[in-house]
Amino acid sequence: MKTLLIIDVQNDFMPTGSLPVPNGDKIVSIINEIQPKFDLVIATQDWHPEDHISFASNHNGASPFDEIEIKGQPQTLWPNHCVQGSKEAKLHPKLNTLKCESIFRKGTDKEIDSYSAFYDNGHLKSTGLAGYLKEKGTTQLFLCGLAADICVYYSIRDAVKEGFDCFFIEDASEALDNEGFKKIKKEMVDMGVKIISSKFI
């Protein structure tokens, strides 16, 4: 089964959001166009409590994008974003979700960040996504969304480890740091991920 995984296409990651991904809104129409080509479509949302440990505002004297260590794990501190139940945490209003069978939420534990759609950053807690996809019969997994160099990338790493044949849809994704993403794309290829355009699905 051919599955599309749409990662974190949420208001806070749009150009007007608190953690804007450059051109994040430009991918919405592309994602809408490709959805009919898939047997299964699912999405994810960052879904943080207000007191989430990754928010710079919850650390005295800290600023967004500071780097600290929490429980032995490196942690970037972020602006408050995608707070549970807020309009900023909602999926982009123009994203077609009619074909989405499920939406998986991540980052719900205030004590640890969760970039990947599959596990938190310490691999302590599963979202249940891997089991869901395997039960549905997913063999080929196509990933897109925001941000390509963070949540999409970490999701791809875990998807490969879970044994899925992974495809990264480059023009249906945008990175927070395009320069750093060049190195990440090479890592993807080295992992066996196919980097494709939406035109070739």
> Annotated catalytic sites, by residue?
8, 106, 151
Confidence of residue 72 (pLDDT cuts 50, 70, 90): confident
Distance between CA atoms of residues 64 and 55, nearest Å: 8
pTM of the predicted structure, to 2 decimals = 0.97
Distance between CA atoms of residues 20 and 92, nearest Å: 13
Q: Would you list the domain boundaries of the chain?
A: 2-48+81-200
In tens, the pLDDT along 110-126 reads 999 999 999 999 999 99
| pLDDT, mean of residues 154-164 | 98
Name the CATH superfamily for 2-48+81-200: Isochorismatase-like (3.40.50.850)
pLDDT of residue 73: 83
In tens, the pLDDT along 79-104 reads 999 999 999 999 999 999 999 999 99
Cα 165 from chain centre: 18
User: 8 vs 15, 33, 40, 73, 114, CA distance in Å?
Assistant: 14, 17, 17, 23, 12
Any idea which residue has 């949540």 for tokens? Answer: 151
